[in-house]
């Protein structure tokens, strides 16, 4: 049984991620002030996804987790996506 | 009966629970997506009335608190217990600040009659009512999670202080941190979806 | 009637027959196999199991593939059937059905309205369905059609009555205490008779008390013969000593014109003890002249007197 | 190892009062029994309500209750049966009892969380029952809580919603526990290809619990908020859409029917090979189809909404997906039947219930195809045909599997055997009563009798009378079965550690299992259905 957790991530690495997150926050605020029409929402979502990936991979150490856990996360996200996606078969075509 | 100490199992369990939390908010995101598709203009109008400054401030707060809790874990693993305690304190402090901000923001909405049943909101288009309805439940539920997360971290802070969560056995802190990151993750999506619609 | 154009009944029944047929075959097949195995390989006859492979790829592929084909065919056939249910013939007569707690109101393009659905036999009818309060569902088993009445949107069904007659019409979506009495009929009349009915009296407000009671759905919950339903009976209402709950306080009042009017417009103001507080408000739903007629009728001789039959 | 006459984990300790010894125990076996007792109690409550429903429907017009009472009765019957009996039933009771034993683990991964699950379940049940006597009276919405009715009825719906939320939370925690346990605590040698099929089915179920239940949670929260402050998210007057509520509700509640049936299928997959003395035919296919049902079953919820006003495109998609989900179920049925081939079959009570399961579930599932087809569902939706369908799958399926599990595993748990003859007679009565009760319901539904009808037209009476009579037959059979099981557990002959000569790990232990079941993880050397190896780890 492995009692042990991951090796500690260096402070350097964590702060770099943090800085990146702040930069991305700035970018998303900036981009939202441009008028891109329907693209705005996708840009916002795209940047948010990028930020979320950083948090998940580094802050939450997913990068160092076994493949199994990555797969599980993928399944959870896929489930959510299909719930939303299938609902749209109703609302878009009503 | 003795607990089976298995860090990997504990972490797996925590992740599974987080999936559950994700799907809990997922229901709200589903509603958001549907109503955004139905009332795009109203949602934009609703988003304009949210306080961008407070929203951005809160985003920065949460991201920073996410950093501090991640640092706290690394600190503990490197055996720097004092630093770890300090960083945890900072995290809890940030979460409280977040809640204060949120309170200020909600109060402002109430003062403007922008709440369900409030004078201003009742006059607006149906799409805006839905927008504010969603805004209140989503941020409310998220706020509740912030509160729970803060309490959890406070408790873990106690455990670290009393030496029950240690360099050798950091599982509790790991899981507390995971929970806190989830709270951050949800906010990372709430922020653009509600505050940055233009 | 063989020369009749296509009906929804045929569309649905064909699918029923197809799926039921295959399902019955499968069920009989599986059960028979099971029983035969149980008898044949019963321990008494067959004390030792005989070796047989514990998996066989080709066999398993076969019994995955064949069901796949079966269900796909069922799906396809049923979808074809469903398309017929949503494809309204262009010459269909248009009627609107409004569901409300707990009655139906059908209105025709010329302004005629009724609590029964009158239709000309043989002609396609398109019923647009709306709801005034909660979900209801318009269901005519004889024609195999059903659709929910959803507040805020309009749905529809179409059908064609094959023969003259009276067909049951139910509310199929649970809608509260009198859900099961939200029942009426479809009256399929010969074309000429139907036209006569349609033209008979367009102005609904000419109707008297009893007609108004049923049109506005009051009789769904209140009887005229003294029997107990969801709400108190109208028989003997006027002048009755009534125990009510007003604003949380109990009091006794004598039913008069004011009380009757208030009970229609603000039913929650005085709640009669022993009945659930479920009556919807009719504020803005009844034209003033009709309201007056109703109140007059409810306080009139035949109802306030001793039992005079339903 | 334990000596003769040892009461194993049932042995009272003298450290604290007996009751506390149980309700605060973190031992999975004791928690399993706690679930078994509570689930059983709620089953009896639900069943009594069902009998009352039938009594009311014996004749048109008021019979024993008012319309309002009837509505409360079926709401309560549905809520109790779904949330208090059938969803926690097999995973909570037999999952907890057997899962760790079957994989050779000492306990589940998080024993204290496990206890918390049970407590949450009891708390939720308590609230559900309180909702009957407080506030505006018993909820009258049906177990589906459809808006707008549920957001405006003055009855005590909010408390019931909270109860469902809490029970859902308990279900999630059980799911988390089981997935972690199966991943982390398998004994050496117990690789994925050797997992008993019951464990496979619990694994698939647990994932559904984790990923679908929270959606129900948020739906209940939204409805509560709607009732408390009127956000209007589902209120058409305020821009909301009542049909979205139905989506959210069924996103959970359809997958929930697979939470109900998968563990039941797992039980049947355990029993059939043991009593046919043959390894399961197509082990891999059965295991994989559990996972396939769980996955595909999460995508078909719209079939409950074919007449709701949903778009026709959605009807097309959901109807197709619904038909596809029947395929893995078909695979299972064929594999079970094939397992019988050339076996040496003995018809002891667990086997009888398992075989009845296959038959009744097939009827239920095949009528599901009628419902999955858009054209025919339009006619039978919300009629007693649907009521017949779901009682066939839930009671004929899961209920019978639950009874099978009782007869199969209780001798292990208590170390005593019931009377075989009485059990067989009870089975026969239950089987006859069941079909007498529910088959006429489907027929009357085909004739057009809507469900949730307190009163009905005279032409429906005949079939309703038969159904009601059937409910009495069923009641008699159930009574006999429970009495027989109870007497057996108290006074029956010693069962021995492996009465059925089965090969899964729980039978290696003494009956009842010792408190410390596998303090040393066993070295597993064979598959779960290598029956020659019965009795060896
Ligand atoms: C244990 C619970 C359970 C299970 C397992 C199922 C299984 C299935 N159900 Fe059922 N269902 C319910 C519980 C369940 N259901 C409940 C509670 C409701 C009503 C809720 C309410 O409104 O209150 C409901 C309602 C319901 C509806 C909505 C009806 C309506 O309201 O109009 C539909 C529609 O498609 C449906 C379909 C199916 C299908 C296709 C399956 C399939 O999974 C069945 C698959 C099984 C088989 C197909 C049989 C076995 C296979 C063979 C015998 C081999 C041969 C088969 C082929 C070749 C195909 N169900
Ligand atoms: C697992 C799920 C489950 C089970 C087992 C049952 C079991 C039964 N149900 Fe169930 N039923 C549901 C789940 C279930 N039901 C659900 C979800 C609904 C939908 C609710 C809604 O619409 O919202 C429903 C709806 C429903 C209706 C439809 C109501 C309507 O739409 O108008 C009816 C009507 O007959 C009915 C009857 C019965 C009967 C007679 C039983 C029988 O099983 C009862 C048979 C058993 C007995 C007769 C034995 C009784 C034994 C005793 C009493 C002895 C006990 C005593 C001691 C040991 C001391 N049920
Ligand atoms: Cu209207 Cu049921
Ligand atoms: Cu379903």
CB within 8 Å: A32 and B192 = yes
| Domain D32-533, CATH homologous superfamily name and number | Cytochrome c oxidase-like, subunit I domain (1.20.210.10)
Please state, in angstroms and rounded to a whole number, the distance separating the CA atoms of residues B94 and B187. 14
Residue with tokens 């009017």: C261
Please state, in angstroms and rounded to a whole number, the distance separating the CA atoms of residues B114 and B117. 8
**What kind and span of H or E run contains D494?**
strand D493-494
Q: In order of start, what are the domains of chain C with their CATH numbers?
A: 8-86 (1.10.287), 93-198 (2.60.40.420), 209-305 (1.10.760.10)
CA separation, residue B5 to residues B12, B153, B168, D178 (Å): 13, 21, 12, 16
Please state, in angstroms and rounded to a whole number, the distance separating the CA atoms of residues C217 and C151. 18
Cα D322 to ligand 1 centroid, rounded to whole Å = 9
Let me know if domain B2-195 sits in CATH 1.20.120.80.
Answer: yes
**What kind and span of H or E run contains D154?**
none
Q: Quick one: pLDDT at residue C1?
A: 42
Q: What is the mean pLDDT of chain C?
A: 84
What would the two tokens of residue D535 be? Answer: 């009795």
Q: How many CA atoms lie within 13 A of D172 on its CB side?
A: 27
Please state, in angstroms and rounded to a whole number, the distance separating the CA atoms of residues B143 and A82. 27
Q: Which residue's CA lies nearest to atom 18 of ligand 1? A: D390
| Chain D closest-CA separation from residue A65 CA (Å) | 15
Chain B within 8 Å of A69 (Cβ-Cβ)? yes
**What confidence tens digit (pLDDT) does each residue in C90-147 have?**
989 999 999 988 889 999 988 888 889 999 998 999 999 999 889 999 999 999 999 9
Cα D73 to ligand 2 centroid, rounded to whole Å = 10
CB within 8 Å: B70 and A59 = yes
Residue C158 pLDDT level (bands cut at 50, 70, 90): very high
What would the two tokens of residue D129 be? Answer: 């029952």
| Chain B closest-CA separation from residue A4 CA (Å) | 6
Is a pLDDT exceeding 80 seen at residue C283?
no
pTM reported for the whole predicted model: 0.92
Please state, in angstroms and rounded to a whole number, the distance separating the CA atoms of residues D53 and D44. 14
Residue with tokens 């060896």: D536
Q: What angle do CA C37, C40, C44 make, to 5 degrees?
A: 125
* A76, A87, A92 ranked by CB distance to D247: nearest: A87
Omega prior to D485 cis, within 30 of 0: no
Mutate to test the interface with C, among D147, D274, D378 (most CBs of C within 10 A): D378
Strand-pairing partners, residue C148, are C137
Residue with tokens 């495109």: D313
Length in residues, chain B: 198
Q: Quick one: pLDDT at residue D321?
A: 95
How many other C-beta atoms lie within 10 A of the C-beta of residue D212? 30
What would the two tokens of residue D231 be? Answer: 């956000």
Q: Closest ligand 3 atom to the C-alpha of C178?
A: 2
Chain A within 8 Å of D483 (Cβ-Cβ)? no
Strand-pairing partners, residue C249, are C246
Chain A within 8 Å of B189 (Cβ-Cβ)? yes
CB within 8 Å: A56 and B67 = no
Which residues, given as ranges, of chain B have pLDDT below 50?
Answer: 1-4
Cα C29 to ligand 2 centroid, rounded to whole Å = 30
Q: Quick one: pLDDT at residue B123?
A: 80
What would the two tokens of residue D151 be? Answer: 């957001």
Is a pLDDT exceeding 60 seen at residue C191?
yes
DSSP E strand boundaries for chain C = 93-100, 103-108, 113-114, 117-120, 124-131, 136-140, 145-149, 155-160, 165-171, 184-189, 241-246, 249-254, 270-272
Q: Where are chain A's structural domains?
A: 12-92
Residue C224 pLDDT level (bands cut at 50, 70, 90): confident
Q: Where are chain D's structural domains?
A: 32-533
CB within 8 Å: B19 and A17 = no
Cα D381 to ligand 1 centroid, rounded to whole Å = 12
Q: At what angle do helices D349-372 and D312-340 cross, to 10 degrees?
A: 160
Q: Quick one: pLDDT at residue D10?
A: 76
Chain B within 8 Å of A24 (Cβ-Cβ)? no
**What confidence tens digit (pLDDT) does each residue in C232-277 have?**
888 777 777 788 887 777 888 888 888 888 888 888 778 887 777 7
| C154-164 mean pLDDT | 93
Is a pLDDT exceeding 50 seen at residue A4?
yes
Cα C136 to ligand 3 centroid, rounded to whole Å = 4
Residue partners of C170: CB distance under 8 A and separation at least 6: C139, C140, C141, C182, C183, D448, D450
Q: Quick one: pLDDT at residue D383?
A: 95
Strand-pairing partners, residue C96, are C107, C128
What would the two tokens of residue D424 be? Answer: 């067989």
Residues touching ligand 2 (Cβ under 6 Å) are: D 44, 47-48, 50-51, 53-54, 57, 74-75, 77-78, 81-82, 85-86, 142-144, 387, 391, 394-395, 399, 437, 451-453, 471, 474-475, 478-479, 482
Residues of C in contact with D344 (CB under 8 A): 41, 43, 46-49
| Chain A closest-CA separation from residue D389 CA (Å) | 25
* pLDDT top residue among C8 and D356: D356
Is a pLDDT exceeding 90 seen at residue C294?
no
- Give chain C's end-to-end CA distance (angstroms, integer): 38
- Residue of chain A with shortest Cα separation from D295: A79
C220 lines ligand 3 (CB under 6 A): no
Q: Quick one: pLDDT at residue B2?
A: 37
Q: Which residue's CA lies nearest to atom 50 of ligand 2? A: D475
Which residues, given as ranges, of chain D have pLDDT below 50?
Answer: 1-5
Q: Is C93 helix (H, G, I), strand (E, B) or coil?
A: strand
* D183, D215, D314 ranked by CB distance to A90: nearest: D314
């Amino acid at each position: 049984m492995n009692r042990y957790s991951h090796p500690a991530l260096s402070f350097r690495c964590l702060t770099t991620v943090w800085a990146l997150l702040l930069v991305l926050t700035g970018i998303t605020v900036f981009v939202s002030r441009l008028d891109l029409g329907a693209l705005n929402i996708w840009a916002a979502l795209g940047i948010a996804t990028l930020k979320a990936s950083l948090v998940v991979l580094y802050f939450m150490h997913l990068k160092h987790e076994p493949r199994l856990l990555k797969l599980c996360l993928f399944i959870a996200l896929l489930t959510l996506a299909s719930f939303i996606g299938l609902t749209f078969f109703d609302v878009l075509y009503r | 009966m003795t607990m089976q100490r298995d860090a990997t199992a504990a972490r797996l369990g925590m992740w599974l629970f987080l999936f559950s939390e994700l799907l809990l908010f997922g229901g709200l995101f589903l509603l958001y997506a549907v109503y955004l598709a139905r009332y795009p203009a109203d949602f934009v109008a609703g988003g304009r009335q949210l306080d961008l400054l407070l929203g951005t401030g809160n985003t920065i707060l949460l991201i920073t608190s996410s950093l501090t809790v991640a640092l706290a874990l690394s600190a503990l693993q490197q055996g720097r217990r004092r630093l770890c305690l300090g960083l945890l304190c900072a995290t809890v402090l940030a979460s409280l600040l977040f809640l204060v901000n949120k309170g200020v923001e909600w109060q402002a909405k109430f003062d403007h009659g922008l709440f369900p049943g409030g004078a201003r909101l009742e006059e607006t288009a149906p799409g805006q009512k839905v927008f504010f309805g969603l805004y209140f439940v989503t941020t409310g539920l998220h706020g509740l999670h912030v509160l729970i997360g803060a309490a959890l971290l406070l408790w873990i802070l106690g455990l670290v202080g009393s030496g029950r969560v240690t360099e050798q056995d950091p599982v509790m802190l790991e899981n507390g941190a995971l929970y806190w990151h989830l709270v951050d993750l949800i906010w990372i999506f709430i922020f653009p979806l509600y505050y940055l619609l233009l | 009637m063989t020369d009749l154009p296509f009906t929804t009944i045929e569309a649905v029944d064909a699918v029923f027959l197809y799926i039921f047929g295959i399902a019955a075959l499968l069920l009989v097949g599986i059960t028979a196999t099971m029983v035969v195995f149980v008898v044949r390989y019963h321990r008494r006859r067959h004390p030792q199991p005989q070796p047989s492979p514990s998996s066989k790829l080709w066999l398993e592929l076969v019994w995955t593939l064949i069901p796949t084909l079966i269900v796909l065919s069922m799906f396809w056939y049923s979808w074809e059937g469903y398309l017929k249910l949503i494809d309204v013939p262009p010459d269909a007569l248009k009627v609107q059905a409004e569901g409300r707690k707990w009655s139906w109101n059908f209105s025709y393009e010329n302004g005629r309205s009724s609590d029964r659905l009158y239709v000309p036999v043989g002609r396609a009818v398109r019923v647009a369905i709306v709801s005034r309060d909660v979900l209801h569902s318009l269901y005519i088993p004889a024609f195999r059609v059903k659709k929910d009445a959803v507040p805020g949107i309009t749905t529809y069904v179409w059908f064609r009555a094959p023969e003259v007659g009276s067909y049951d019409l139910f509310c199929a979506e649970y809608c509260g205490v009198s859900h099961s009495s939200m029942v009426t009929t479809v009256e399929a009349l010969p074309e000429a008779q139907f036209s006569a009915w349609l033209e008979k009296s367009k102005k609904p407000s000419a109707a008297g008390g009893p007609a108004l009671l049923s049109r506005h759905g009051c009789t769904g919950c209140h009887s005229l013969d003294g029997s107990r339903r969801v709400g108190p009976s109208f028989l003997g209402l006027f002048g009755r000593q009534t125990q009510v709950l007003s604003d949380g306080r109990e009091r006794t009042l004598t039913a008069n014109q004011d009380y009757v009017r208030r009970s229609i417009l603000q039913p929650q103001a005085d709640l009669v003890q022993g009945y659930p507080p479920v009556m919807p408000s009719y504020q803005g739903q009844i034209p003033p002249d009709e309201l007056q007629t109703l109140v007059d009728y409810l306080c009139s001789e035949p109802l306030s007197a001793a039992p005079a039959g339903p | 190892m334990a000596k003769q006459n040892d009461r194993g984990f049932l042995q009272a300790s003298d450290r604290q009062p007996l009751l506390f010894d149980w309700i605060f125990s973190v031992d999975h076996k004791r928690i399993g029994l706690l679930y078994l007792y509570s689930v059983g109690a709620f089953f009896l409550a639900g069943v009594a309500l069902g009998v009352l429903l039938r009594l009311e429907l014996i004749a048109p017009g008021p019979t024993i209750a008012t319309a309002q009472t009837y509505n409360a009765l079926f709401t309560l019957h549905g809520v109790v049966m779904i949330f208090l009996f059938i969803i926690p039933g097999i995973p909570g009771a037999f999952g907890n009892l057997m899962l760790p034993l079957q994989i050779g683990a000492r306990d589940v991964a998080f024993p204290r969380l496990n206890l918390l699950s049970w407590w949450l379940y009891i708390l939720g049940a308590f609230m559900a029952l309180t909702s009957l006597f407080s506030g505006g009276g018993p909820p009258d919405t049906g177990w589906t809580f459809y808006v707008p009715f549920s957001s405006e009825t003055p009855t005590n719906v909010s408390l019931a919603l909270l109860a469902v939320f809490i029970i859902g939370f308990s279900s999630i925690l059980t799911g988390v526990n089981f997935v972690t346990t199966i991943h982390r605590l398998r004994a050496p040698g117990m690789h994925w290809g050797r997992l008993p099929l019951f464990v496979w089915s619990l694994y698939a179920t647990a994932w559904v619990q984790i990923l679908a239940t929270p959606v129900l949670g948020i739906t209940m929260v939204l409805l509560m908020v709607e009732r408390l402050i009127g956000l209007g998210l589902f209120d058409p007057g305020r821009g909301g859409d009542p049909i979205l509520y139905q989506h959210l509700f069924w996103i959970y509640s359809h997958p929930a029917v697979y939470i109900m049936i998968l563990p039941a299928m797992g039980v049947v997959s355990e029993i059939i090979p043991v009593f046919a003395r043959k390894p399961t035919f197509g082990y891999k296919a059965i295991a994989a189809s559990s996972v396939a049902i769980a996955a595909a079953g999460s995508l078909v919820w719209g079939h409950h909404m074919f007449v709701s006003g949903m778009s026709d495109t959605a009807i097309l998609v959901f109807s197709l997906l619904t038909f596809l989900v029947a395929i893995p179920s078909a695979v299972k049925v064929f594999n079970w039947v094939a397992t019988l081939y050339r076996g040496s079959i003995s018809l002891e009570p667990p086997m009888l219930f398992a075989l009845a399961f296959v038959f009744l579930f097939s009827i239920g599932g095949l009528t599901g195809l009628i419902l999955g087809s858009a054209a025919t569902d339009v006619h039978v939706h919300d009629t007693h045909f649907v009521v017949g369908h779901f009682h066939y799958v839930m009671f004929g399926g899961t209920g019978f599997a639950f009874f099978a599990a009782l007869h199969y595993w209780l001798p292990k748990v208590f170390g005593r055997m019931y009377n075989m003859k009485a059990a067989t007679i009870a089975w026969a009565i239950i089987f006859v009563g069941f079909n007498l009760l529910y088959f006429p319901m489907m027929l009357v539904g085909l004739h057009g009798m809507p469900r949730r009808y307190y009163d009905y037209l005279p032409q429906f009476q005949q079939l309703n009378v038969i159904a009601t009579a059937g409910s009495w037959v069923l009641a008699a059979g159930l009574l006999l079965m429970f009495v027989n099981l109870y007497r057996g557990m108290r006074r029956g002959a010693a069962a021995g550690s492996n009465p059925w000569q089965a090969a899964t790990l729980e039978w290696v232990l003494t009956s009842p299992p010792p408190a410390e079941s596998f303090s040393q993880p066993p070295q597993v050397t064979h598959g779960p259905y290598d029956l020659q190896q019965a009795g060896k780890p």
